[in-house]
Structure 1
Amino acid sequence: MFEVLSPQPKVPSMRRPSHFYLLSLFAFCSVNLAFGDSNLPDGFPESDRSKTSLTTSWMFHLGDPNAAFHIADLDDSVWEEVSIPHTLKLTDLNLDGCDDDKTQPTFHRDVGWYRRTIEVSQNPDKVFLEFEGAHQVTDLWVNGKHVGQHSIGGYTPFHFDITGFVEPGENQVALRVDNRRHDDVPPDPGPFDYVKFSGLYRDVYLVETAPLHVTFPWEDFYAGVFVTTPTVDPLNGNATIAVRTTVRNEDQQPKQCSLLTRVIDRAGIVVLRLLDQASIKPGADHTFNQCGGIEENLHLWSCDDPYLYRVNTTVLDGDAVVDCVENPLGVRSIALSKEEGFLLNGKPVQMLGANRHQHYPYIGDAVPNSLHFKDMLQFKQQGKNIVRTAHYPQDNALLDACDELGILVYEEAPTWISIGNDAWFDNLEKAARRMVRNHRNHPSVIVWGGGINHRGYVPRLHYAVKQEDPTRWTGSNNSEWTGIQNSGVCDLFTNMDYGGINDWSGNEYLIAMEGKANPSSIEKYASDPLRLGLISWTAHAYYTFHIDADNWNRMRSGSMDGFRNQGPPRDATSGDPVEMKLNLDMDGRSLQADGSDIVMAYTRFVDGDGNIVPKSDLKVQYTVAGPASIVGDKTLKGANPVSLSRGAAAALIRASLTPGTITVRAECPGFKPVEASVKSVRFNPNRILATARPIYDLERVRVDMGEVGQLVQFDWTPWFGESNKDASIDLPNMGGFNVTLRCGSEEGITRWLGEMNVKGYHGFVMGEGVCVVDPAGFKLEFEGLAKGRYSLKTFHHAPSSNTNSMDPNRERLKTLNIYQIPVAHSVAVHTVDVDTSVEMTNGKQLPDSGPGTAVIEFEVRGDAPVAVRFQDADGANGIWLNGFELQETR
């Protein structure tokens, strides 16, 4: 959609890498975003940071807490080779017949030893081991030397700096993961209404960085990256975005550090850039505080449309990129209204969801990321919009899923009724702070637990999480039967409502953090705006030593069983079973060949009419062909063959380390066997390469046209022209180019106006400009643009005078009377390929739809100028051009 003044041959389009843009935009900081041979997606910076998943190749030994299994030259070849997430021991549905009470004095109260070789680069600067969680006290040795101990608890992340313990090449890592009772580590000493399982049950990473790097977010109050939206205006579609980033210099020399923060939309387009510099002393941290905003085309995050931006943080040492991390950003506002209840982006939302324990049959807490996602996908498919992570911080993968699917989160520190000693309380506060620091950038989180489950609000916890994150609410974690309570210092009265809250005053906001999602309860909460939501107990059956658990199945409660089967009603009727149906639940996911990923297999029996048979004494025998195995198989009671639960016989199929086709076969005497197949895919341990997405850092220039004296729109480039003369401007953007405005004939008249007032968005742009009267119209010529694709947006609004005594150019405006020139109603835009038109707006105020705009896309293929011609579609009336935007496109 352009007019090329001389024919050019067709050649492939070329787009300059985004680092050339940065060179021109930030002249004071020579930014060089390197693109090497690492196959990173287009525009993603290559830095000195690496993050390698240590999922595979662990050697495991159960027990012997005082053994010297940490020595570097230990022969561990007879140990079991495992992948993580890993539990110390698989357990059957009856908790292996253990008769522990709720303090869990013996079950899984053991230690696990894990050994592995790690490969460190040839020139390591900083080397870390990062843990998402391990139960519950973890000691680390590297090459036989003790590095340190983590003893805050088993549900929050931690890391060890192993730089001084490693050498280039292979290094030996040994872990003692101790799940024995520790009275100062919550939720011990108990009791607790859930089983605290064991092992190295969440992801572990080997991280290498440059000496100049972003710190881990849980290190201290200012560490890492913290993204907030101080203001969000859903009505006008804009938001303020603040980013706090701490960079550490572990070099022996001071560093000139530049911090480039880019907000990237769903399409990969950069919509906000923030750049700051600082000199950081050796051994010191520096916290950057940056603030900008998205002023147009804002996409809000909501339950119905969970739109996610990315915040890409790039650290430069001089002109070299040395570090890069990314965080999610969902722009949303949350508010409370006595008339409308919970407001998300200014609209009332009734919260309806369920509690969730991370337990799965057999594997306990050692749940692969894919099943965390599947749980939340199932929530979404069932119409749920909130989850409470009962009663501890849960896996990063769960929060990622909630962000992506639009599910709100109420997350809390690991407790259940009991209160321990001073050291216990210190660890509880530390765990709460780490929970917030780890998950504070997830838009799905709206409530932090500000109390101890059942016991009610705890000022110390409330103030700790409020200090860490003042942007979200706290919940009081009450139960009615432990005494008359209220929200106290917390923002919300979160209570267990199983039969009606009798002691609620009705003068505070209430969420049933546990309750029954029956029709009467749902109706009660929907009819009262102070009752914000109902979170039922519980989504899935979970392991517990509760006294009322079935003696053969200690997975208690749940609208679904522990296998996530949502079967027919228990009183459903059907005919006799005549056929088996087998399903591998691969909806919305892949199966990673990492030795730990799991897909759920469900076999159901149907009658002659296709109805699912809800109950039967039939059992299903599973076999697997291909690179996979059945979790538990013949070694675990009830794992295979499998009895029916809620109409399905379920099995956990675990992928091996080799990708390929996996065929699952289900058999039952008297029925025709059934099969289903799935292909596992290669696992990529390079987590940066596996998760990086393209970044299109496309430069845009915005030009506000008019005469000297105009009120220039903020952040726009002014173009001052003289009447009745060709006008030209040189712009340094995009490598430098020139724009010329020419009349189409010698009869043409141009009148440039400064300082007229127009009310509306970008009113300074639309209040002045150039008015051209010429039967042949006029054209804009672009010369010197680099080869590539561009989008030109032009603005056409005829302003009306509304001058008053405060206008410095009032008398001149009256003399010129430019606003009285008859103007075109429709402007034709002529290009080589297409003829289009734009309806020109006019008046003292812009219409709600905005000014008249024309969008012209074109491609520069050679050195010749590119021109766009504008003409009155009906005659020779005046055409207003107030300004334009020119942007690179993909």
Structure 2
Amino acid sequence: MKRIFLFVFFICVCVYSTQVVSANNYQPDFSVAGFFDLKNSGREVYNFNVGWRFHRGNVQGAEKIDFDDSGWDVVSTPHTVQLMPAEASGGRNYQGIAWYRKHFTLSESLKDKQINIYFEAAMGRSIVYLNGKKITEHLGGYLPFSISLTEHGINPGDKCLIAVVVDNSNDKSYPPGKPQTTLDFAYHGGIYRDVWMIATSNVHITDPNKENKTAGGGVFVQYGEISKKKAEIIISTDVVNSSNNSQTLIVENIITDKNGKALKTVKNNLQLKPNESKQTQQKIALDNPVLWYPDAPYLYNVETRILAKNGNPLDGGITRIGIRKVEFRGTDGLWLNGEPADKLIGGNRHQDFAYVGNAVPNSQHWKDARKLRDAGCRVVRVAHYPQDPSFMDACDELGIFVIVATPGWQFWNKDPQFAELIYDDIRNMIRRDRNHPSVLMWEPILNETSFPLEFSLKARQITHDEYPGSFCVADNHSKGVADNYEVVYGWPKDVGNFKQCIFTREFGENVDDWYAHNTNNRASRSWGENALLIQSLQLAKAYNEMYPESRQFIGGALWHPFDHQRGYHPDPYWGGIMDAFRQPKYSYYMFKSQVPANLQHPLMETGPMVFIAHEISPFSSPDVTVFTNCDEVRLIVYGKDTLTQKVPREKYGMPNPPVTFKDVYYFNEMRVYPYVEKQWQKVSFVAEGLIDGKVVCSTKKMPSRRSTKLRLSIDNTGQQLIADGSDFIPVICEVTDDEGNVKRLAKERIFFTIEGQGEIIGDEIIGANPRDVEFGSAPVLIRSTIIPGRIKVKARVLFEGEHAPIPASIEFESIAPKQTLVYSEKPQVNQSTAYTSSYKRQLSEEEKQKILNEVEIQQTEFGEKK
């Protein structure tokens, strides 16, 4: 009956508001295992994400070649073991074993190549089997690991099976170690980052984590003198000879500008015996370099080539670098490139997204960074683990400093092996991320954790061994930090109590008590105008506290710019300036208003802005709050009353405090215009931003009338959808009136359908489709297939009638990926369906109370010291 109903519906609906979105704008590149693609270098990179057989749960013998997996789903990575509702905190996600099996045939074209399968990350404990044989086991969910097909006898033309069992269960033996029931984030499972197949010559650049050389392996770019007149670039290149013959090689490094123009070239000869590896160091002096700043993030390319004696390329890749000099001068603050730096204000970042958990494609990591940068964030502290490599690439490009943290939160295991695994994580994260100009500091300890002094000191020593001259940061009251670390986490009140620079790792929280977690800085977007306004003003207050006069205090990171899932609490964290779909709240515009109006940036959305945080609804406040980066605001009410206020900078430390016009709006007075005079068009607020007395921007807000239309838009920051089977984009459906004003009080359910080369992520079980309208809009996630082509998304209200809003549709195209896809089986449409019920039992009241007591003790301990 259901199918018949849908068929009849599509015949009956004949009126659509349709738009076609053409592709333009900017399509970013992403690195693989630290390198961007260098044409004709001898290195080939293949997309290994497509065509994995997947089963949630444990199965005996699933590693064997002859195991029958024909009944399993076929999926693409990045992949989550379970789709979840947008509100899925409180330990509702699947924890346990899941299996992935990939059948493929190694191409004959890869003869005489070294073949590695590179996993960017998989959650928890991972065991990899090759043709039924156990190859490796990896502990931890946030750092890469790889296997060599060549070393295990796989030749071109061979049929292969890679089986991976992943387990995101609670496990105290490796970091983070803390059970999810007492954890402030969630262990979403699966092979949730990219998998690549990398083909190189027998002579090739080493993988720094596999090579395991202190401050070595791979390509490591360091710097000597840096000024506006000269920069000394030191390039260390580690090469291995996996052949049976001695080799005479040339190691070539070329510095090119952003347009690809070669600026400087250095070459070294290198002799390698069979199975020998060596590191060679080269220095390049660059005159009048363009330095890297957050507001001008200029990037050079280091093109590395390993050449045979006759000049034939054997291996190579591009390392993207930004030349900058960071100094922490204690009471004199942060200096960048020889000049005092502005305060760094930004946010923390967890990596999860609505529905898909951690299985976020590279494009969405870049969009997250772009949205944070548009909101004025100049620093991100990763929480509480290394982020996806594509996010780091984006921060380099967008000008966001990053504080990189080792995995950990409020848990210490006294078993010495636990500390050794943390030390391994520190080494691996530094080796992975050391070339990123965005890396400001390393946080090599466990967040909010009581650990021994010996651990604190050794973590710092490992950091400096792996990256000489880098900087460590941690809580000032943790053992060994105040006396030894280069920067401390603290608060403006701590100025003068320490010799180091001070940074606030998490600002903005204002909870009533740990158990309840009620607070005026946490507001679900669905709660509407008043809650969002209160949140934005509370965060403005907290933002302002990050601007004491002292230069010793260098800035702070909001906790947390995106709503996200948590393990120990039934509510998601709703303190984001954007929700879990990255739709903005009022507080987003408060943050954005702190960006200087005259700022020019190659990729940010910049310029004068003004935003009215008021919906002119029956329930709106009498006061009208405006966020702007201009000098003053002119508010025109109902087209006749003109009110002007200066931005009250003299009363605050923050760049652009909110402007509030008192007692401007009363519903009973407003309704005279449309009800009595029949002049509803007069009801509006116009806010004009003025600089030096001139209007430089303006915006108009009108009250929404009856819901008449749906409107679709793509939230893609100008990027096209990649046809790789895992990329996705949000499509936003808004309910509007005749004039296009969003009906913020609309309460509809939107049903989405799709045609062409895409699929809708999720279904009614998780509230994805149909989707409830919240604050005027309903998002849907559209995932690509592996075939580039046209995609058409349609939206209608779930139950239609003569006066229901008119449906809408939108069309766009996906494009082919840059890397060749390696697969034998195509992924299914509607992969990764949601569970129909909870996967595990409820805890008893006694069990819950015991867990909550444990967390409250820890939260209180660190909260008091904040």
Normalised TM-score (structure 1):
0.67
Q: Confirm or deny that 1:449 pairs with 2:443.
A: yes
Higher relative contact order (CA 8 A, sep 6+): 2
Q: Confirm or deny that 1:156 pairs with 2:143.
A: yes
Mean Cα displacement is larger for which, 118-127 or 442-451?
Answer: 118-127
- Deviation for aligned residue 1:451: 2.2
Asked if 2 retains the 8 angstrom alpha-carbon contact of 1:568 and 1:646, the reply is no
In the other structure, the counterpart of 1:740 is: none
Asked if 2 retains the 8 angstrom alpha-carbon contact of 1:506 and 1:530, the reply is no
- Deviation per CA, 1:692-742: give whole Å up to 9, x if none: xxxxxxxxxxxxxxxxxxxxxxxxxxxxxxxxxxxxxxxxxxxxxxxxxxx
- Deviation for aligned residue 1:437: 0.4
- One-letter amino acid of the structure 2 residue matched with residue 228 of structure 1: Q
Asked if 2 retains the 8 angstrom alpha-carbon contact of 1:119 and 1:171, the reply is yes
Q: 1:423 to 1:161 in 2, by over 3 A?
A: same
In the other structure, the counterpart of 1:34 is: none
- Deviation for aligned residue 1:576: 4.3
**Runs of 4 or more consecutive aligned structure 1 residues displaced over 4 Å after TM superposition:** 483-486, 500-504, 568-573, 607-611
In the other structure, the counterpart of 1:584 is: 714
Q: Confirm or deny that 1:684 pairs with 2:684.
A: no
- Deviation for aligned residue 1:438: 0.4
Q: How does 1:660-809 map to 2 (within 5 A)?
A: 660-668=789-797, 669=800, 670-686=804-820
Partner Cα distance (2:496, 2:100) in 1: 50
Q: How does 1:800-819 map to 2 (within 5 A)?
A: none
Partner Cα distance (2:768, 2:39) in 1: 47
- Deviation for aligned residue 1:683: 2.1
Q: Confirm or deny that 1:291 pairs with 2:280.
A: no
In the other structure, the counterpart of 1:128 is: 116
User: For 1:476, what is the secondary structure of its paired residue?
Assistant: strand
- Deviation for aligned residue 1:619: 2.1
- One-letter amino acid of the structure 1 residue matched with residue 232 of structure 2: T
Residue 487 of structure 1: which of 469, 473, 482 is its match? 482
- One-letter amino acid of the structure 1 residue matched with residue 268 of structure 2: D
- Deviation for aligned residue 1:449: 0.5
Q: 1:395 to 1:78 in 2, by over 3 A?
A: same
Partner Cα distance (1:135, 1:118) in 2: 26
- Deviation per CA, 1:423-457: give whole Å up to 9, x if none: 22111111121111001111011111132211378
- One-letter amino acid of the structure 1 residue matched with residue 778 of structure 2: A
Partner Cα distance (2:250, 2:808) in 1: 61
In the other structure, the counterpart of 2:55 is: 61
- Deviation per CA, 1:372-410: give whole Å up to 9, x if none: 000011112112111111100010100111111111111
In the other structure, the counterpart of 1:558 is: 576
- One-letter amino acid of the structure 2 residue matched with residue 210 of structure 1: S
Q: Confirm or deny that 1:117 pairs with 2:109.
A: no
User: For 1:466, what is the secondary structure of its paired residue?
Assistant: helix
Asked if 2 retains the 8 angstrom alpha-carbon contact of 1:565 and 1:646, the reply is no
- Deviation for aligned residue 1:144: 2.3
- Deviation for aligned residue 1:416: 0.2
In the other structure, the counterpart of 2:401 is: 408
In the other structure, the counterpart of 2:381 is: 388
Asked if 2 retains the 8 angstrom alpha-carbon contact of 1:217 and 1:224, the reply is yes
- Deviation for aligned residue 1:665: 1.5
- Deviation for aligned residue 1:534: 1.6
Partner Cα distance (2:39, 2:98) in 1: 41
Asked if 2 retains the 8 angstrom alpha-carbon contact of 1:475 and 1:487, the reply is no
Partner Cα distance (2:439, 2:583) in 1: 27
User: For 2:208, what is the secondary structure of its paired residue?
Assistant: coil
- Deviation per CA, 1:600-658: give whole Å up to 9, x if none: 11122345665444444322221112111111123x32111112345421111111112
RMSD of equivalent CA atoms:
2.5
Residue 255 of structure 1: which of 235, 241, 247 is its match? 247
Partner Cα distance (1:88, 1:411) in 2: 27
In the other structure, the counterpart of 1:469 is: 467
Mean Cα displacement is larger for which, 484-493 or 623-632?
Answer: 484-493
In the other structure, the counterpart of 2:673 is: none
In the other structure, the counterpart of 1:820 is: none
Q: Confirm or deny that 1:535 pairs with 2:526.
A: no
User: How many residue pairs are counted as aligned between the two chains?
Assistant: 624
In the other structure, the counterpart of 2:133 is: 145
Residue 366 of structure 1: which of 355, 359, 362 is its match? 359
Q: 1:135 to 1:502 in 2, by over 3 A?
A: same
- Deviation for aligned residue 1:74: 2.9
Partner Cα distance (1:682, 1:358) in 2: 26
Asked if 1 retains the 8 angstrom alpha-carbon contact of 2:715 and 2:731, the reply is yes
- Deviation per CA, 1:99-154: give whole Å up to 9, x if none: 54xxx9x8422222332314244523422111111112222222222222222x11
Residue 640 of structure 1: which of 755, 759, 769 is its match? 769
- One-letter amino acid of the structure 2 residue matched with residue 376 of structure 1: A
Q: Confirm or deny that 1:357 pairs with 2:491.
A: no
- Deviation per CA, 1:489-530: give whole Å up to 9, x if none: 2211124x5xx6569715431111100283444344332211
Q: Which has more strand, going by share of residues?
A: 1
- One-letter amino acid of the structure 2 residue matched with residue 560 of structure 1: M
- Deviation for aligned residue 1:555: 4.7
Residue 82 of structure 1: which of 75, 86, 95 is its match? 75
- Deviation for aligned residue 1:228: 1.1
Q: Confirm or deny that 1:657 pairs with 2:786.
A: yes
Partner Cα distance (2:475, 2:710) in 1: 45
- Deviation for aligned residue 1:363: 0.5
- Deviation per CA, 1:286-339: give whole Å up to 9, x if none: 01011121023x211111111111111111232232111221110111113456
Gaps of 5+ in 1: 1-42, 689-890
Q: 1:83 to 1:477 in 2, by over 3 A?
A: farther
- One-letter amino acid of the structure 2 residue matched with residue 439 of structure 1: D
Asked if 2 retains the 8 angstrom alpha-carbon contact of 1:308 and 1:330, the reply is yes
Q: Confirm or deny that 1:174 pairs with 2:163.
A: yes
Partner Cα distance (1:577, 1:453) in 2: 50
User: For 2:370, what is the secondary structure of its paired residue?
Assistant: helix
Larger Rg: 1
- One-letter amino acid of the structure 2 residue matched with residue 487 of structure 1: A
Q: 1:646 to 1:328 in 2, by over 3 A?
A: farther
Normalised TM-score (structure 2):
0.69
In the other structure, the counterpart of 2:729 is: 599
Q: 1:325 to 1:332 in 2, by over 3 A?
A: same
- Deviation for aligned residue 1:44: 5.4
In the other structure, the counterpart of 2:178 is: 189
Q: 1:324 to 1:502 in 2, by over 3 A?
A: closer
- One-letter amino acid of the structure 1 residue matched with residue 348 of structure 2: N
Q: 1:558 to 1:582 in 2, by over 3 A?
A: same
Partner Cα distance (2:767, 2:51) in 1: 28
Partner Cα distance (1:524, 1:507) in 2: 21
- One-letter amino acid of the structure 2 residue matched with residue 648 of structure 1: S
Partner Cα distance (2:551, 2:543) in 1: 13
- One-letter amino acid of the structure 2 residue matched with residue 145 of structure 1: K
User: For 2:717, what is the secondary structure of its paired residue?
Assistant: coil
Asked if 2 retains the 8 angstrom alpha-carbon contact of 1:156 and 1:435, the reply is yes
- Deviation for aligned residue 1:422: 1.6
Q: 1:615 to 1:438 in 2, by over 3 A?
A: farther
Asked if 2 retains the 8 angstrom alpha-carbon contact of 1:128 and 1:159, the reply is yes
Partner Cα distance (2:752, 2:562) in 1: 24
- Deviation per CA, 1:773-827: give whole Å up to 9, x if none: xxxxxxxxxxxxxxxxxxxxxxxxxxxxxxxxxxxxxxxxxxxxxxxxxxxxxxx
